[in-house]
């Protein structure tokens, strides 16, 4: 036991060092590296990958993990959870036949450029044979990785969001289907008119200035992280002391950078507020994709699209862009940032219609994985269902079934975490409001009180517990999607 | 032989991968990383250092190198040179007693903060005991690493600039002492008056714009590198496909960023123009510190401070800063960038007086290492010699013997390469002018023809030959410092 713990913690240092190297290479590739300097396919990258692979399959490490797993009841809570996770990962990898895995890796790298071409040319048939093989592999995965508790699509769902399976998601999307679909249909019957002032161009440097202000409003600790530019906004980092956000400034879209800044700073706040004692373990960072997304969405939607937020900060926005927003009121601006509209593309959807895009993908994945739906029938099925939920029909597959890259990467089970994040955010918002008046707390000009609540109820745990456990500790309840639908219908009925 | 070559080339891939990781960490530390995100003393950094150390001391690798070294006559030129270098490095490390090395590493890390304090407080005595131990270690190094050909100070000189020893440097500095010291005294008798227009402030964004223009003038390949900001300008990279330059923009000093841009792009041009066939070997990059510096100085001084250069580009500078430089002529500007003045601080010295600062340091190092001069006598000796060469006396040790960090790092033997670089640049300039009229070639608005000449005469070799060999191939002659003094006296007599 003693010996195994020693081997484990020594080896963990090496794993973390390679995680750091991966983080840094990813960061550099997405920010600084020139077009021909990217090392993805280079000799040094394959050496680094081989180092990492050897570390994660080291027999001495694996045997230490097995010993610790067998005696996990003697470990403290954090270590027990960590060992359970590492043990599962090691064994899951072993359950996949190596030749299948190799063939699939090759398929994946071939599929991506074909997907890009198919999307550009609106040609689903081009991508179809690749997607068929990808779905085939994912179906096999559900067999290889099946356990007593997890079978079929649940195997994939649990990979992205531990402990959330069809039992939870079905309940979730049933509520959406019953309560949200009719509400959205009624609420979006009239087209939205974009106000005149929103059609101006907004200087990129001024956008940056305002986003830096927002970062300070959200109390981002600049001594432990930075904010930079990249093609697509993202958050990345290593531990609590190095948390990095990027943004992108489009002169023709003010809202894009503003809400990316709030969204990414939400992710960053989670990372910066993890208990620093978890640095140097594998229990740092966010607990899951869905819980991470719940934090970015919480700040973006519950806070960043609230009346109180713009009461406090619209003056600064007006000042930075003076005189472009003269004569606009905080409430007008707040209504503009909450405009809703039916649209074809998920990534451009507003807060209200967004979850319906995910619901559609969830149903499709469920049917594809269990074999009820075949890849060849996908485009027609997509369009039928889309029409049913949104009342409009995608004019092309580019704007329909081909719009997202996730399936080309074989990421079946990933999409549901996006909607889950918003629903968890609403449940946390409800619990937080029971403790103090959240909107009123924004009057001091920062999100300090909100950060504090989230730190002590969610962030501090890092990934040392499962996401459902953390939600239960934070709210005293199991996941309950009614909070989310109540929140959405309440908010969008009032406007 | 076959087997050893295979082991060597496989292992080299790993060494290069770790070099890449070191490059990336260094780049990130000096550009992006926030104050508390710097990983220098972190657990992951010690894992990475240990990886690197194990790689470079791998017994299988060492035995392969030994085999290849014994049979080096059967290798091609590039590989033979590489094996000689690697063999020497491996064996030099082994000659230093491990306990001495460890003690010295500890001393080094203690010495730096003391040096900084001593400099700030103008208190040499504070730093003296540390410097004494550092000098003591360097003297021992000359014994441990002595060979038939190299003894005493030559051991240290050869570490920084292979094949350049006191025989060459004495000849070099003798010429400077005889011809340059009297010329400088006469040329700097009258103080320089800074023109009125140079006292304006110059917008940092406009400085950046002009520096980006200069980068294009010098044909920097942007698809294989970038230009960014950092506290101090530097050049870094990996192979020919990833070459990175930084700069710093001070509103009160236009010349600082302009000449840093030219200087660093000079280094970068060298790196980008190495034969790409040397990527993936240990024979890429520059051949030595001195030869690298010869390239940056060549572009900075011979080209960037020439009449023809500003005839071609002053118009652009005027345009970027309009109307701040209206009424200034290209020749006036050219004279301003070539202003000379006696000064105390090396890093602020002009082209003409710079080498005398180095000459002083060379003499001191020579006497310190052979034991003719003791550390306790350094401040007085520095001031005496400085007065002899410059005709002015440093008012403090901060502006005298404490000004440079190099000795605190134990880098005895490094300084001479700075002056050597300028002298080699002058010798190359002479040879280039024999092939074509260098200043006239600038009329087309770029340095393309100059780059081409340096590529085929110097850059393409990378570090696959010793610097003296490359100079001989490029100019047909051994190193000859008279070219440098002729160049300086000719240029600064004309103005």
Q: In chain B, what are the domain boundaries?
A: 2-145, 168-493
How far away is chain B from the Cα of A192, in angstroms, using its nearest Cα? 40
Helices of type H across A32-76:
43-56, 59-70
Q: From the candidates B264, B271, B300, B351, which is the catalytic residue? A: B264
A225-229 and A242-247: which strand pairing? Answer: parallel
CA dihedral B222, B224, B226, B231 (to 10 degrees): -140
> pLDDT truncated to tens, each residue of chain A (495 aa)?
899 999 999 999 999 999 999 999 999 999 999 989 988 878 889 999 999 989 989 999 999 999 999 999 999 999 999 999 999 999 999 999 989 998 998 898 899 999 999 999 999 999 999 999 999 999 999 999 999 999 999 999 999 999 999 999 999 999 999 999 999 999 999 888 889 999 999 999 999 999 999 999 999 999 999 999 999 999 999 999 999 999 999 999 999 999 999 999 999 999 999 999 999 999 999 999 999 999 999 999 999 999 999 999 999 999 999 999 999 999 999 999 999 999 999 999 999 999 999 999 999 999 999 999 999 999 999 999 999 999 999 999 999 999 999 999 999 999 999 999 999 999 999 999 999 999 999 999 999 999 999 999 999 999 999 999 999 999 999 999 999 999 999 999 987
> 3-class SS at B347?
helix
Name the helix (H) or strand (E) containing B381. Answer: helix B378-390
Cα–Cα distance between B73 and B262 in angstroms, integer?
41
Summarize pLDDT for B43-86 with one digit per residue, the tens.
889 999 999 989 988 999 999 999 999 999 999 999 999 999 99
The C-alpha atoms of residue A327 and residue A337 are separated, in whole angstroms, by 17
Nearest CA in chain B to A25: B24
Whose tokens are 């490094």? That residue is B414
Say which residues have a Cβ less than 8 Å from residue B100's Cβ, sequence separation at least 6: B137, B140
Nearest to B242 among A14, A27, A37 (CB): A37
- Of B108, B76, B82, nearest to B11 by C-alpha is B82
Backbone φ and ψ of B331, nearest 5°: -70, -40
| Residue from A12, A15, A22, A42 whose CB has the most chain B CBs within 10 Å, to mutate | A42
Residues of chain B with C-beta less than 8 angstroms from the C-beta of A47: 13-14, 16-17
A114 CB within 8 Å of a chain B CB: no
Taking CB atoms and an 8 Å limit, are A242 and B44 in contact across chains?
A: no
Nearest to B335 by CA among B492, B178, B110, B172: B492
User: Residue B46: closest CA among chain A residues belongs to which residue?
Assistant: A17
Task: List chain B residues with CB under 8 Å of A242.
Answer: 33-34, 37, 39
B229 touches chain A (CB under 8 A): no
CA distance A152 to A138: 10
CB contacts of B24 in chain A (<8 Å) are 21, 24-25, 28
Q: Which residues of A are catalytic?
A: 264
The whole-angstrom separation of Cα A480 and Cα A484 is 8
Calculate what percentage of chain B has a pLDDT beyond 90. 93
Helix (H) or strand (E) holding B59: helix B59-70
Q: How many CB atoms lie under 10 A from the CB of residue A254?
A: 25
Can you tell me the distance from the alpha carbon of B175 to that of B152, in angstroms, rounded to the nearest whole number? 23
Torsion from C-alpha of B130, B136, B138, B140, nearest 10 degrees: -150
What residues of chain A lie within 8 A of the CB of B284, using their CB? none
Q: For residue A244, list chain B residues with Cβ-Cβ distance below 8 A.
A: 32
Section B374-379 average pLDDT: 98
Whether B13 and A226 lie within 8 Å, measured CB to CB: no
Angstrom distance (rounded) from CA B297 to CA B286: 14
Contacts of A284 in chain B (CB under 8 A): none
Do strands B242-247 and B225-229 pair parallel, antiparallel, or not at all (unpaired)?
parallel
**How does residue B152 score in pLDDT terms, banded at 50, 70 and 90?**
very high
Residues of chain B neighbouring A277 (CB-CB closer than 8 A)? none
Complete DSSP assignment for A179-215: IIHHHHHHHTSSPP---GGGGS---HHHHHHHHHHHH
**A-chain residue closest to B14, CA distance:** A47
Query: To probe the interface with B, which of A37, A244, A282 has the most B CB atoms within 10 Å?
Result: A37
Q: pLDDT tens-digit profile of B441-492? A: 999 999 999 999 999 999 999 999 999 999 999 999 999 999 999 999 999 9
Predicted confidence band of residue B411 (pLDDT cuts 50, 70, 90): very high
Q: Which pLDDT score, from 0 to 100, does residue B494 have?
A: 86
Confirm or reject contact between A143 and chain B (CB < 8 A): no
Q: Is the pLDDT of residue B495 over 80?
A: no
With H, G, I as helix, E, B as strand and everything else as coil, classify residue B227: strand
Cis, peptide link before residue B233, omega less than 30° from 0: no
- CB atoms inside a 10 Å sphere around CB A191: 8
Is B17 within 8 Å of B227 (Cβ atoms)?
no
Chain A partners of B35 at a C-beta cutoff of 8 Å?
223
Give how far the C-alpha of residue B344 lies from the chain's centroid of Cα atoms, to the nearest Å. Answer: 20
Q: Do the bridges between strand B225-229 and strand A225-229 make them parallel or antiparallel, or are there none, so unpaired?
A: unpaired
Spatial distance between the Cα atoms of B348 and A268, rounded to a whole number of angstroms: 42
Distance of CA B351 to the CA centre of its chain: 15
A219 touches chain B (CB under 8 A): no
| B280: its two tokens | 């993936």
Q: What is the pLDDT of residue B39?
A: 84
Select from A34, A48, A244 the Cβ nearest to the Cβ of B225: A34
CATH code of domain A168-493: 1.10.1370.30
The pair of structure tokens assigned to B434 is 């024999």
| Helices of type H across B391-445 | 415-435, 438-441
Identify the sign of the CA torsion A170, A174, A175, A180. positive
Burial state string for A109-135 with b = 16 or more CB within 10 A and e = fewer than 16: eebeebbeebbeeeebebbbebbebbb
Task: Check CB contact of B339 with chain A, cutoff 8 Å.
Answer: no
**DSSP code per residue over B302-314:** IITTSHHHHHHHH
Three-class secondary structure of residue B170 per DSSP: helix
Whole-complex ipTM = 0.90
Which of B16, B48, B222 has its CB closest to that of A34? B222
Residues in A closer than 8 angstroms to B280, CB to CB, are: 43
Sequence-separated (6 or more) residues with CB below 8 Å from residue B357: B346, B349
Mean pLDDT for chain B overall? 96
Shortest distance, CA B334 to any CA of chain A (angstroms)? 34
Residue of B nearest to A32 (CA): B226
Q: What residues 254-283 of chain A have any CB closer than 8 A to a CB of chain B?
A: 280
B40/A contact by beta carbon, under 8 A = no
- Given B20, B43, B48, which is nearest A44 (Cβ)? B20
The reported pTM is: 0.92
Q: Tell me the shortest Cα–Cα distance from A110 to chain B, in angstroms.
A: 25
pLDDT digit string, tens, across residues B101-137: 889 988 988 999 999 999 999 999 999 999 999 999 9
> What pLDDT sits at residue A309?
98
Q: Which of B37, B224, B226 sits opposite A224 (nearest CB)?
A: B37
Query: Whole-angstrom Cα distance, residue A283 to residue A274?
Result: 10
Chain A: nearest CA to B312, how far in angstroms?
A: 29
Helix axis angle, B448-457 relative to B415-435, nearest 10°?
110
Interface test with A, best of B20, B50, B271, B277 (most A CBs within 10 A): B20
Contact criterion met (CB < 8 Å) for A24 and B20: no
A205: contact with B, CB 8 A cutoff? no
The CA distance from B187 to A286, in Å, is 67
Minimum-distance CB partner of A224 among B25, B34, B48: B34
Contact A226 B34 (CB under 8 A): yes
Cβ-based contacts of A205 with chain B (< 8 Å): none
């Amino acid at each position: 036991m003693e010996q195994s713990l020693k081997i484990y913690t020594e080896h963990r240092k090496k794993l973390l060092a390679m995680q750091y190297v991966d983080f840094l290479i990813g960061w550099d590739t997405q920010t600084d590296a020139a077009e021909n300097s990217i090392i993805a396919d280079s000799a040094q990258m394959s050496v680094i990958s081989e180092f990492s692979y050897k570390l994660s399959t080291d027999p001495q490490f694996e045997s230490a993990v097995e010993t610790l797993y067998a005696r996990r009841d003697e470990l403290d809570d954090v270590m027990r959870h960590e060992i359970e996770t590492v043990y599962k990962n090691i064994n899951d990898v072993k359950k996949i036949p190596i030749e299948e895995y190799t063939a699939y890796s090759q398929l994946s790298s071939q599929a991506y450029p074909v997907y890009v071409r198919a999307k550009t040319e609106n040609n689903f048939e081009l991508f179809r044979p690749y997607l068929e093989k990808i779905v085939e592999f994912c179906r096999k995965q559900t067999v290889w990785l099946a356990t007593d508790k997890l079978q079929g699509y649940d195997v994939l769902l649990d990979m992205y969001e531990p402990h959330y399976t069809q039992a939870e998601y079905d309940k979730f999307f049933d509520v959406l289907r019953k309560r949200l679909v009719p509400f959205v249909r009624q609420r979006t019957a009239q087209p939205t008119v974009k106000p005149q002032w929103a059609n101006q161009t907004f200087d990129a440097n001024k956008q940056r200035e305002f986003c830096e202000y927002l970062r300070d409003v959200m109390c981002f600790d600049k001594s432990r992280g930075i904010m930079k530019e990249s093609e697509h906004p993202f958050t990345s980092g290593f531990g609590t002391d190095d948390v990095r956000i990027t943004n992108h400034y489009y002169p023709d879209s003010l809202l894009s950078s503003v809400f990316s800044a709030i969204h990414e700073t939400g992710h960053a706040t989670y990372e910066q507020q993890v208990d620093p004692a978890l640095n140097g373990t594998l229990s740092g960072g966010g607990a899951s994709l869905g819980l991470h997304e719940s934090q970015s969405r919480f700040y973006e939607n519950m806070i960043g699209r609230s009346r109180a937020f713009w009461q406090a900060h619209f003056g600064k926005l007006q000042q930075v862009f003076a005189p472009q927003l003269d004569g606009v009121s905080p409430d007008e601006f707040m209504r503009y940032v909450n405009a809703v509209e039916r649209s074809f593309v998920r990534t451009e959807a507003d807060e209200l219609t967004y979850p319906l895009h995910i619901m559609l993908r969830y149903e499709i994945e469920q049917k594809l994985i269990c074999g009820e739906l075949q890849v060849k029938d996908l485009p027609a099925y997509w369009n039928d269902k889309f029409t049913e939920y949104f009342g409009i029909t995608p004019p092309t597959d580019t704007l329909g079934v081909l719009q997202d890259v996730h399936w080309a990467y074989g990421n079946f089970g990933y999409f549901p975490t996006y909607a889950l994040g918003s629903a968890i955010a609403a449940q946390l918002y409800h619990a937080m409001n029971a403790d103090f008046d959240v909107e009123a707390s924004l009057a001091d000009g920062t999100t300090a009180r909100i950060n504090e609540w989230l730190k002590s109820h969610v962030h501090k745990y890092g990934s040392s517990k499962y996401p459902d456990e953390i939600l239960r500790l934070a709210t005293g309840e199991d996941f309950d999607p009614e909070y989310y639908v109540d929140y959405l219908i309440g908010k969008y009925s009032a406007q």
